[in-house]
């Protein structure tokens, strides 16, 4: 899970924006803090595709479709955790990730708030995990034990083109599980592109992280503004690419904004790139989407691949161009 760390007022200072007064629109500061827009060359990529006609399933803690930057973009799927909303903690992380994928902004000409990588895509919210701070997280019911596998299958059966999983551990904790791996194969067989975060303990245990480590899943690590791999980003031989993952401004479940670090944000952005490709090429296979993303990178390692960078830094415009060639 990504580490959300400060509110937008502090975030504005972190990313070099003048802190807004109480009367200012917080959305203006949020948009100004989206440094990844230029890094991913999104304004150029949007000339070819904005993700129209693509359904992205966000398997997370739930998505607040009433956030002004996500209005009209979200369809609510099932809560597979078995926890309900009794703790009051619901949807903050999922809302953040959904905004990075398909945020539409708000205000005049949608110039304020968070704009996602694929702002014309639709989001299917499927709740498969609880917020990190939720006291019920340690007391997960048996009903929610296989939530991720069920969520993957549900998304595939509902025609999801992309399945975004900014989470780790799964029901098999750090070893993975047979039912999740089978669900991944099932979804790929149905034509879905699966994307997951590589993990945030790269500077400590650097554990193998699931669902990122399942074969066929696009595993994504994080880089900072200088395109250097973040210290927390897991280094593993299943890593596909890296993407912006530090000082990332996102929508918050409480209709506000936060800034966070983590491979979660990086994975959400790559899920957005997959949506752009699927929109431009509806019949493209999951394998070729992954290939296009891995070919369309910046800072490719000298040897062609490394456990830290994967194939390189994901780039929306270059990935679309690679998909065109494929």
What's the 3-state SS for the chain?
CCEEEEEHHHHHHHCCCCCCCCCCCHHHHHHHCCCHHHHCCHHHHCCCCCCCCCEEEEEECCCCCCCCCCCCCEEEEEECCCCCCCCCCCCHHHHHHHHHHHCEEECHHHCEEEECCCCCCEEEEEECCCCCCCHHHHHCCHHHCCHHHHHHHHHHHCCCCEEEECCCCCCCCCCCCHHHHHHHHHHHHCCCEEEEECCCCCCCCCCCCCCCCCCCCEEEEEECCCCCECCCCCCCCCEEEEEECCCEEEECCCCCEEEEECHHHHHHHHHHHHHHHHHHCCCCCHHHHHHHHHHCEECCCCCCCECCCECCEECHHHHHHHHHHC
CB atoms inside a 10 Å sphere around CB 82: 14
Q: Is the pTM here over 0.75, yes or no?
A: yes
Dump pLDDT digits (tens) for 207-257.
Answer: 999 999 999 999 999 999 999 999 999 999 999 999 999 999 999 977 799
Query: Which pLDDT score is estimated for 132?
Result: 84
Dump pLDDT digits (tens) for 159-174.
Answer: 999 999 999 754 445 6
Whether residue 219 contacts residue 232, with contact meaning beta carbons closer than 8 Å, is answered with no
* Separation of alpha carbons 272 and 49, rounded Å: 11
Q: Which residues are catalytic?
A: 60, 93, 264
**Residue 5: half-sphere exposure toward Cβ, Cα within 13 Å:** 15
Q: Domains plus CATH for the chain?
A: 22-324 (3.40.50.200)
Query: Which pLDDT score is estimated for 261?
Result: 97
Query: Which pLDDT score is estimated for 3?
Result: 42
Chain centre distance of CA 106: 20
Question: Which pair of tokens denotes residue 114?
Answer: 């968070």
Q: Which stretches of the chain score pLDDT less than 70?
A: 1-25, 86-88, 138-144, 169-174
Query: Which pLDDT score is estimated for 63?
Result: 97
**Residue 186: half-sphere exposure toward Cβ, Cα within 13 Å:** 17
Query: Which pLDDT score is estimated for 83?
Result: 85
Query: Which pLDDT score is estimated for 86?
Result: 66
> Rounded to a whole number, what is the largest CA-CA distance in the chain?
53
Query: Which pLDDT score is estimated for 175?
Result: 77
Bin 255: left if φ > 0, else alpha if -120 < ψ < 50, else beta. Answer: left
Whether residue 224 contacts residue 185, with contact meaning beta carbons closer than 8 Å, is answered with no
Query: Which pLDDT score is estimated for 218?
Result: 98
């Amino acid at each position: 899970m990504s580490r959300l760390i400060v509110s937008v007022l502090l975030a504005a200072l972190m990313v070099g924006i003048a802190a807004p007064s109480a009367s200012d629109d917080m959305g203006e500061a949020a948009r100004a803090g989206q440094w990844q827009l230029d890094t991913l060359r999104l304004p150029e990529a949007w000339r070819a595709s904005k993700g129209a006609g693509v359904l992205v399933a966000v398997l997370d803690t739930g998505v607040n479709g009433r956030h002004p930057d996500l209005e009209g973009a979200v369809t609510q799927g099932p809560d597979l955790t078995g926890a309900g909303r009794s703790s009051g903690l619901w949807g903050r992380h999922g809302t953040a990730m959904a905004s990075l994928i398909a945020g539409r902004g708000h205000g005049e000409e949608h110039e304020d708030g968070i704009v996602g990588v694929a702002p014309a895509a639709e989001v299917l919210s499927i709740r498969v995990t609880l917020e990190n701070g939720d006291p019920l997280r340690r007391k997960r019911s048996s009903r929610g034990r296989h939530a991720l596998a069920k969520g993957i299958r549900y998304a595939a059966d509902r025609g999801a083109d992309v399945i975004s999983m900014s989470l780790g551990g799964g029901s098999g904790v750090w070893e993975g599980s047979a039912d999740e791996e089978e669900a991944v194969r099932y979804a790929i067989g149905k034509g879905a592109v699966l994307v997951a975060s590589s993990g945030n303990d790269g500077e400590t245990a650097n554990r193998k992280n699931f669902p990122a480590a399942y074969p066929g899943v696009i595993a994504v690590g994080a880089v900072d503004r200088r395109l250097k791999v973040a210290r927390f980003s897991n280094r593993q031989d299943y890593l596909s690419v890296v993407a912006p993952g530090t000082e990332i401004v996102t929508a918050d479940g409480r209709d506000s904004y936060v800034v966070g670090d983590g491979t979660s944000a990086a994975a959400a952005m790559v899920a957005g790139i997959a949506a752009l490709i699927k929109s431009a090429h509806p019949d493209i296979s999951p394998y070729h989407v992954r290939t296009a993303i891995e070919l369309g990178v910046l800072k490719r390692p000298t040897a062609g691949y490394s456990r830290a960078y994967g194939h390189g830094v994901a780039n929306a415009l270059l990935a679309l161009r690679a998909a065109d060639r494929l």
